[in-house]
Chains A and B, each alone.
Chain A
Amino acid sequence: MIRSIESSSLPWLSSWGFHTPRFVCVEGGEQLPDVTTDIGEAPWVVKPDTARGGKGQAGLVRICSDRSELAAAVAELRAAEEVGSPARLIVQQYVEGTECYASVAFDETVRAPVVRLASAGGVGFDALRDAASAPVDPMLGLLESDVNHLLAASGIGRGAPHSAATRRMLHHLWRAFSASEATLIEINPFRVDGETLTAVGVALEFDDNADEYTHDLRPLEVVGEERFRLGEVTERERAVFDINRSMSSTPAVSFIELPGEIALLVSGGGGALLCLDQVADLGSSAACYIDSSPGAGPEKLHQMLLSGLGVPHLRGVLFGAVVVSLDDVTRMTEAFIKAVRESGIDTRTIPVVARIAGPNEEEAHRLLREHLPAVRLLGRESTLEDACALVVDLVHRSDMGASA
């Protein structure tokens, strides 16, 4: 999922016809700018310039009535873990008014875009429960009848001073959503002052897989997994991220480092999740989670496995997959053998269990026996749970051996 950071979201909304507050960015440890000149008199709002939503609920938004309060709030937020390093903050003009809510997003249950509107909004507002909603047929687009329904059901009907502005805003919302192939545009809240709606809080998400021509219609600065931008990743996660980015024409591979002791190098999303649970149920813990699709290519597979084998304090390895249907299992096996050699893991001292089944499994078994003879090899007669039990048992035995 691609998201937009707030300092890019606001100008983007403005370009689609929304009214937005003035703001200024404060980066790293730089001096506070002359906020009054840039965005006007206090009060001001200061918050992290990240793509993450729920900043108000997380206590990361401060309202400041003078420059000394602003300086204190900036210092406090720069030190907050969630802001990342170097810290990027946004100082925004405070807008008076009541609050309301609008969004458009793909809905998993309806399986179509759904527009939501409410006459309330702000921190803690539950849009799924409290907003009026209208599913939109993507072949027809947002119809006047949808807009009329939303206005009536939300209570922002005829007679409300901002009724006409809300009607226009809903059409801007749909136009921006469909043209940029967004998956979410959420404005929470709008501040309502007479006939004017000002978008003061915004969350934007875009489809990673959308056609390239839509990229020019997106905000200037978008991020994939924001934890990479905020420096919340290990060097091994960064290495997988980098190879995915440099070889973007083939399917990406996943690698998540976890604080456990057994590297779960199990491909197939469902099978890998099953193993996470089983290892935990057996009193151990996973050191990583991986996933890959057929077609990822040998370089990405190699880096993913190398990252898994490089997790510090590793005490066991489970390599394998669900019974593969659509790929040759020797590809993954060759990448594993290469990664084990490069990582320097000694399979005689760190227990390694492999469960390999699928097209060409005999050849995969032969390769493992020839190149990594200490690996405990299981076939399709054993389940992934058997493999989990074996590797946990071997790790526990090695504990007992060490203590004896």
Chain B
Amino acid sequence: MSNKTVKCECGHVNHEGTVLCEACGKPISGNQHIDGNDQNDVLEMRYEGSARRSKTYKRTIVDKTWGFFSSVKVGVWLIVITLIASSLGTIYPQEQFKNSPLPSSQFYEEEYGLTGKIFYQLGFHNMYDSWWYIVLVALIGISIIIASIDRFVPLRRALKNQSVKRNEIFVKRQRLVSENNTLNDEDLTSLKENLKKKRYKVSEEDGHIMAEKNRFSRWGPYVNHIGLIIILLAAIFRMFDLMHTEEYVWVREGETRVLPNTNQEYYIENTEFIYEEYDSNEEEQFRVALENVENPVPKNFQTNAIIYRSTEDTITGQLPDMEEVTRGQIRLNQPLTFDGFALYQAGTQLESEYRTIGFDLENDEETLGSFEFDTDEAPYSFELEDGLEVEVDNYFPELEFTDNGPSSFSKFPRNPGIIFSIENPETTNVERFFYLQEDVISLSDDNELNLSVSDIDRRSASGISITRDYTLPIFGLGAAIFMIGVVQGLYWYHRRIWIHPTESSYHIGVHTNKNWFGMKKELEEITKDTNVQSFHDQQELK
């Protein structure tokens, strides 16, 4: 970078690449092509004709990269590409939503045919955390930063250095002008008064008048871009466990389990799981809707939980001594929070497990006794009245039949199978029974005893997700700054009016950074009852 400067005839020393003198606004010869002023009658005022790095230096790689990212054209293209890519990702479900046991390599092709296969092969099934999507977003971030710096710094300097006394060419080449006005002192006084009424800041120098208001709105875009950058940074932070963790745990009713992402420090006990459905007798207004759907409509999923904190070092597989931290109800939309963690009701397995199964034993004449099989304890034998003994030969929590006979698919009592053997006190024969699918079958033909199921108690399991997310306040801050910036830039307009005396008359030039329609209305009020001639719009839509 060189430090060449350009001195204007008004005496102000401008940076190299300046288009309009920062002080008086006179077009600097040789630089007018930069903002396209050589072809237009109206001066390009977007950045006050200030010297932007991207437009001034174009030689080295750094210059070129800077120029590339600071271009709004490039920025807009990046956004458009992201927008199109994002929408393409919704054609078929993302991998996480595919809801099928098939591996993705088969799922997309089988379900959606050729287009599905292409979708998969392009990697669109995992679009939003693919490297190229992240790179796109990162490029947008870089573009926002560079474009903002490229414009903000010189713009601020130009607005600071502007002087009240402007060059005549500058005033006459504004979009709204009124030339050759004959104004008397009265006119000028009432103009100034009207301007002040409209909250303009009015300054004077040698008979030149400048009125300005709402300069701060020019910073709106820069503020909102800072908000966006904060949000992108928060997204990066969120990738680190220190800032954000998320885990999932299933807890049965009555069970206490460690919360996985708490370093074995916190435990949850599920004291009760509540599931409720809408009932068309109670809520009459929903009758039609409820009758139109096949399945009942759920009303509430709720886990009543107690959170403990361990007070000693833990030994795996054993519950340590604990103290209660908090207790409460976890519902959809009502997480339970404690010490920076939040617990969400995320899944349910309704009555999916057997807690206890009750049995009655009788022979032809009388009842011999009853007992209850508790799947947690899974005892090896039961002692009934009269010394009668029931042996548990085999217990399969989740029964399935394989080539080698019955076995258990898991250790969870989702479909228990139990083989009992009982010695008949009368015959002293050992009789065997098989409990499966809520029924009992005899395993030998000559059984004289009769074993039957008396009652069944099931339990639900509750899926709880546990998150700790320290990035939330950062996202909130970014969003708030974004909103402030957007409002600041969209609802206030930076407006300036220059009254330029010549030997015989006055030229008036007007600039607003947007909303020319409103500007024209305001000018009508400002020039009311004065000799100012109507303004000429040099760029009206035809």
A joins B in a complex: no
Give the A-binding residues of B (Cβ under 8 A). none
Give the B-binding residues of A (Cβ under 8 A). none
